[in-house]
Amino acid sequence: MHPEARSSLENLLPPGRMAMSDEGDADSQRLWLSDGPATAELWAQAHAEHTRSGLWPLLLDALDPNDGEFRPWASREMFPKRMSSPADHDPADVLAHWWASCTADDEDDDMLDIKRRRAVTAPFGQTWPGLAPGPGAVADADELASEFVQAFLVDRPRTRMGLIAAASGAEALTVVGWSGPCNHDNDTAKICAVLRDWEHRFGARVVAAGFDTLHLSVAAPPVSERDALLVAAEHFALCPDNIWQGSRPYTLAAYAEQITGAHCWDFWWD
C-alpha cells in the first residue's frame, strides 16, 4: 500500500501495521491491520474518507481471536498474487458453473441419494434458474452498512480494522488475497465478481470477513417468495455449505424463507 494512500487518515488511525502475505515481499503488503479492536466510529470515519484515501475499511475477524495469531490476517495466510481480477469473470456464468458442479450426480450415488440431492435444490433441481432481479442502486446502502457494523462489533468485540486500497469491499478481498472459500474455489476473484454484482443489484456491502466467513449488509433483500428462491439459488452456488452444513436440515426453500427481508447475509465455507 503506497504511503500517500493513508495520508488523509493518519490522524484518525489507532496503532497498527502493514500485514505481510505469504508471498513475503514489499508488494504483498496490501493490508493495514489495527493492533487493537475496531470501533464503529473508526469504521465510519475511514469509510467517509474512502473517496480521498482510496482505502476501503473492513472488519476482520479471526479463526480464534484468543490464540494470538489472528489468522489469517496476521499469520501470512493471504495470497494476492494467486488471484485473478473480478473484472475477468461474468457473475452469471460463474454462478451457473458452480450450480452445475454442486448439483451434478455422482457416479457412485444410488437413486435415493440422487432424489435427496434434488430435494435440497427444489424446485430447480439441476437446472440453473438464472439471476434474481434486483432494484439496482439503493440510496441508503452505506447507511445500513454503518448500522450493521455497530451490531457486528457488539457480538465480536475482538474484531480488528483492516484498510485495503480498493474501490469496494468486494474488490478488497481479492486485493488482499483472502482465501476463505478455497475449498469451494481457490480464486477469490470469482467470488468477488459475484459480490460486486450484488453491490449493484441489492445494495450489498462487504462489511466483515473472517478466516473462512463473510458478512454482508443488504439494503434491498428479496421480499417475494419467487425472488427469495432465486437469491437462495445464488447463495447455494456461491456457498453450498450454507445449506449443506446448516445448523438444521436445510433445503433451498427453507433457506429462502430465512433470507426473505433479511438485511444481512452470512457465509461460511468448510
pLDDT in tens, 35-59: 999 999 999 999 999 999 999 999 9
Cα(172)–Cα(178) distance, integer angstroms: 9
C-alpha cell belonging to residue 142: 452505506
Among 95, 91, 104, smallest CA distance to 238 is for 95
Residue with cell 435444490: 121
C-alpha cell belonging to residue 208: 466483515
- The whole-model pTM stands at 0.92
Residues 206/195, Cβ–Cβ less than 8 Å: yes
Q: Provide the pLDDT for residue 119.
A: 84
Q: What is the pLDDT along the chain (270 residues), one digit of tens a residue?
A: 445 555 567 778 899 999 877 766 656 678 999 999 999 999 999 999 999 999 999 999 999 988 889 999 999 899 999 999 999 999 999 999 999 999 988 776 667 666 777 788 999 999 999 999 987 667 789 999 999 999 999 999 999 999 999 999 999 999 999 999 999 999 999 999 999 999 999 999 999 999 999 999 999 999 999 999 999 999 999 999 999 886 565 899 999 999 999 999 999 998
C-alpha cell belonging to residue 254: 427453507
Q: Beta strand pairing status for 213-218 and 204-209? A: antiparallel
Residues 42/76, Cβ–Cβ less than 8 Å: no
What is the identity of the amino acid at 58? L
* Predicted confidence (pLDDT) per residue in 142-168, tens digit: 999 999 999 999 999 999 999 999 999
Q: Where are the domains of the chain?
A: 3-83+139-217+263-268
Mean pLDDT of the chain: 90
Q: Provide the pLDDT for residue 9.
A: 76
Cα(204)–Cα(141) distance, integer angstroms: 7
